[in-house]
């Protein structure tokens, strides 16, 4: 992000140093309304469907509050119609003003989004068939998704889990901000998580599935953990993985990234990925990072 510079007409002393400025966006039906309600409960001043052209002016108003408003979340999406296309310019203006912002992008698979629209009997805001609207919206939002600081895949999340994800990300627990890491384990047969920043494939490790006594056990059982971690391949891979992340995470932190999702995948997401994911989370917690673990596919048959 750009370095902090005074905004025209606003003394530098009035710019709140700790202001959190979020842009909430993503696919229609992916959970933006619930996210907004959750952020309001977390103390954010939320504005829904603000025309992008008004974002710089809104930011000036917040700055002029002299710190009375420190946490802001703006929901911006394709409901803004032709105004939505001005979002890129508005965000560039924020950066030029020295305002640090984060883009939180909510996503979900096409199948899940269609199901949600059908269950609520809502029309897609872009009109036409629901699926055509979703695909058109996804294309229009792709450049914004590529800029996102945090992507949340809500395809398999309950409302409670989405609230917990946001709370874990945006609640300060020790008075300071550290890089928050989500370790997600998954099965390649069910697809790569949409919100992954880094993906590691552990399908080359010895597979407990082919040991009849181990096959029905979950990946977080002691027997599976011992089987996976004792192999020569795992010992070498583990050391290389931990060394890599020990180097990468401080670089992400220095660059200003506050959230990182590391995805570990095996064939079904039940054994090897779970063991490596749990081991990685333990290492990262020991290094002082805030860590959340999600085993997406461990309970699937």
- Give per-residue pLDDT as tens, 132-154: 999 999 998 998 898 898 899 99
Classify 185 as helix, strand or coil.
strand
Kindly report the average pLDDT of the chain as a whole number: 86
Distances in Å between the Cα of 288 and the Cα atoms of 149, 250, 293 are 21, 11, 15
Classify 261 as helix, strand or coil.
strand
Q: Are 19 and 43 in contact (CB under 8 A)?
A: no
Name the pTM for this structure: 0.67
Q: Provide the pLDDT confidence category of residue 96 given band limits of 50, 70 and 90.
A: confident
Q: Which residues contact 77 (CB under 8 A, 6 or more apart)?
A: 25, 26, 28, 32, 49, 84, 141
Q: Are 206 and 285 in contact (CB under 8 A)?
A: no
228-262 burial: b if 16+ Cβ within 10 Å, else e = beeeeebeebbeebeeebeeebeebeeeebbbbbb
Q: Which residues contact 260 (CB under 8 A, 6 or more apart)?
A: 179, 180, 181, 182, 197, 198, 249, 252
Q: Are 183 and 264 in contact (CB under 8 A)?
A: yes
Position 199 scores a pLDDT of 97
Helix (H) or strand (E) holding 132: helix 130-147
- Give per-residue pLDDT as tens, 194-247: 889 999 999 999 999 999 999 999 999 999 999 999 999 999 999 999 999 999
For the sheet containing 180-187, what is the strand order? 198-201, 259-266, 180-187, 290-295
- Give per-residue pLDDT as tens, 242-300: 999 999 999 988 877 778 899 999 999 999 999 999 999 999 999 988 898 999 999 88
Distance CA 14, CA 23 (A): 22
Domains of the chain: 12-170 (3.40.50.300), 180-295 (no CATH)
Q: Are 194 and 237 in contact (CB under 8 A)?
A: no
pLDDT value at 175 more than 70: no
How far is it between the farthest Cα atoms of the chain? 72
């Amino acid at each position: 992000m750009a370095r902090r510079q005074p905004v025209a007409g606003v003394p530098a002393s009035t710019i709140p140093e700790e202001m959190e400025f979020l842009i909430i966006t993503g696919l229609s039906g992916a959970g933006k309304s619930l996210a907004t309600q959750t952020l309001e409960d977390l103390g954010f001043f939320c504005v829904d469907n603000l025309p992008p052209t008004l974002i710089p002016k809104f930011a000036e108003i917040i700055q002029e509050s002299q710190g009375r408003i420190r946490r802001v979340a703006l929901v911006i999406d394709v409901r803004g119609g032709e105004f939505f296309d001005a979002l890129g310019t508005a965000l560039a203006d924020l950066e030029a003003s020295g305002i640090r912002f984060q883009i939180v992008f909510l996503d979900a698979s096409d199948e899940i989004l269609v199901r949600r629209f059908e269950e609520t009997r809502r029309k897609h805001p872009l009109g036409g068939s629901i699926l055509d609207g979703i695909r058109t919206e996804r294309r229009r939002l792709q450049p914004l998704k590529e800029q996102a600081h945090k992507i949340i895949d809500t395809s398999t999340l309950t409302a409670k889990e989405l609230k917990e994800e946001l709370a874990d990300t945006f609640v300060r627990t020790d008075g300071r901000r550290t890089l928050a890491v989500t370790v997600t384990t998954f099965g390649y047969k069910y697809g790569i998580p949409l919100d992954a920043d880094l993906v590691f494939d552990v399908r080359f490790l010895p597979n407990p599935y082919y040991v009849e006594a181990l096959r029905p056990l979950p990946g977080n059982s002691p027997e599976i953990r011992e089987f996976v971690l004792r192999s020569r391949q795992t010992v070498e891979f583990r050391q290389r993985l931990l060394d890599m992340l020990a180097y990468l995470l401080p670089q992400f932190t220095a660059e200003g990234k506050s959230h990182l999702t590391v995805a570990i995948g095996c064939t079904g997401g039940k054994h090897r990925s779970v063991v490596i994911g749990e081991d990685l989370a333990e290492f990262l917690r020991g290094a002082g990072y805030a860590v959340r673990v999600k085993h997406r596919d461990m309970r699937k048959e």
